[in-house]
Structure 1
Amino acid sequence: MATPSVHSTHLSTTHSFSKTYTPSITLLAGIGVQGDCHSGQTTKHQAQSTSNASAPNLRQVHLIPYELFQDLATHSFSIQPGELGENVTTWGIDLLALSKGTYLYFGAGNDAPIVQVTGLRWPGKGIERHKKGLAEKLVSRENGGNVVCKAGIMGVVIKGGAVKTGDMIRVAAPQGDRVALEPV
């Protein structure tokens, strides 16, 4: 696989489905992406905030692999980075194979921003409204019956800083046994 890197970065100040490309985003520790509608210490996801507005925000940063868009193109879906609402489009990382608690370091040096993986993004009704038939391509069942969500992963900001298109990403597995990702 390619060297893990940031393909592109995106944000939206409103709860629109897609996010707009920007050459860099600023991560704020414990908050999320500066200026993004989902930033905050408590949940900002519209469906979750109505049921428990004081729940911790485990969805501060949304990441999707660019390779997903390539796969979807083979099924006649033309999807562009940011279109599915992600903040960071990655390249060269099998995001779905990461363990809960994995640390992602963006850029080089000791000042690298850090995101800790919290879980999977469940592809909700908005994905199907966005493009008919897309939801079934983002949820599948393995041979053992386990549900696989392909709509990216979510994380929280451990250390803030700028994340730029082209930044390298270092992946550090957490200590202990691997914990499979579940929707958050």
Structure 2
Amino acid sequence: MAVRWNPPGPAVVSVSRSSKHNFSKARMESVLLVEGLGVEGDAHSGTTVQHVFRKRSHPTEPNLRQVHLIHAELFDELAQDGFELHPADLGENITTRGIDLLNLPEGTLLRIGPDAVVQVTGLRNPCRQIDRFQTGLLKAVLPRDGAGKVVRKTGVMGIVLSGGMVSISDEIRVEVPAGPQSRLKCV
């Protein structure tokens, strides 16, 4: 049985990166976030869009997907439905615990560790590749609510406003923007 780590507050559970556009990423002890680019050494790092499909049609779009974050609570939830998932399996760079990522408003700042700041830009929209990883997983992470609206559960995307090392067990401080707030949309 796996040991569960329950930090006292919002924290980093895992960090990962991949220099290739693989579905899953390699777990690391720490990653370096680079201002305006993303995770050093990651295939999605850059000022312009790096997502393979989007890059073909809109190569000069700004990269709003420099960092992918998923809440570890999703893995706990999916385990109850028989799925076995671990940090980095779904291609996220940072796995968190203790933050309701999906309900943060657009523009929320995540201060991670001593220096790094990630601004939340939107929701991740998973593609069919997720079913190649585990059959039925796409439906599990894209359920419908009582009104029939799709609920996207595969985390959030962000841009790096301030660089720094991010390591396992780093504290995460959440700063919600003042004034009117917008719900996250897919980016």
TM-score when normalising by structure 2: 0.94
Count of residue pairs the alignment pairs up: 181
For the residues of structure 1 that align with 2:113 and 2:69, how far apart are their CA atoms?
A: 16
Aligned twin of 1:164: 167
User: In structure 2, the residue corresponding to 1:38 is in which secondary structure?
Assistant: coil
Deviations 1:27-74 (A, max 9, x none): 011100000000000000011101101100000000000110010100
Q: Does 1:69 align with 2:72?
A: no
Percent identity between the two aligned chains: 47
Q: Does 1:128 align with 2:123?
A: no
Alignment equivalent of 1:56, drawn from 54, 57, 62: 62
Deviation at 1:175, TM superposition (A): 1.9
For the residues of structure 2 that align with 1:48 and 1:175, how far apart are their CA atoms?
A: 32
Letter in 1 for 2:142: V
Deviations 1:56-107 (A, max 9, x none): 0000000000110010100100001000000000011110010010000012
* Matching of residues 1-184 of structure 1 within 5 Å: 2-108=8-114, 112-184=115-187
For structure 1, the 5+ residue unaligned runs are none
For structure 2, the 5+ residue unaligned runs are 1-6
For the residues of structure 2 that align with 1:144 and 1:178, how far apart are their CA atoms?
A: 22
Moved more, 87-96 or 173-182: 173-182
For the residues of structure 2 that align with 1:40 and 1:71, how far apart are their CA atoms?
A: 32
Deviation at 1:146, TM superposition (A): 2.6
Letter in 2 for 1:134: L
Deviation at 1:2, TM superposition (A): 4.8
Stretches of 4+ moved more than 6 A in 1?
none
**RMSD (Å) for aligned C-alpha atoms:** 1.1
